[in-house]
Structure 1
């Protein structure tokens, strides 16, 4: 999992990968800490070609602001550089997997 520390890191990530999931969070979010390993496991098992990145919104607020991220956790799925789907606050793994499945099947 790649860490995003600036807008240039974020833009480079989108340019170099067909499908990206960006996990926006911060250290004080207890839900985020529980959800993160589950999302990592989901991607590793079912969608290994999706590049995952993590952005701490307290340490790198610019990428979060650029993407209108106001809550933690927020998960953004990008397909070929464009935002495809957004999940915020209450994230279910089944709807997340269903959202990834269609474009994943078309791309890979």
Structure 2
């Protein structure tokens, strides 16, 4: 499954559940964009909090209780939640994530060519 198919699947599910990504006016769109942006930052914050807890556990294993084995699953969940918000935001703004990601990777390949390892 490619990114376009994943995006379409998410947006279809959003529509079935009443989470809008298409709007009649800019005011409504920007209000939803604001809500989704706050949601995205919340998910990124949850991801960062898990990373913080892993670092505490690594630095002071005797002083902090955190299951390092479950960190990957938790990080994965928060990262995917973040991606879902990014898919929604891109749809609201009419951004084709798949083509824009490919374009950016190609740009970065050139931009960072001097850092390439042989």
Shorter-chain TM range is: under 0.3
TM-score, length-scaled by structure 1: 0.25
Name the structure with the higher strand share.
1
Bigger Rg over Cα: 2
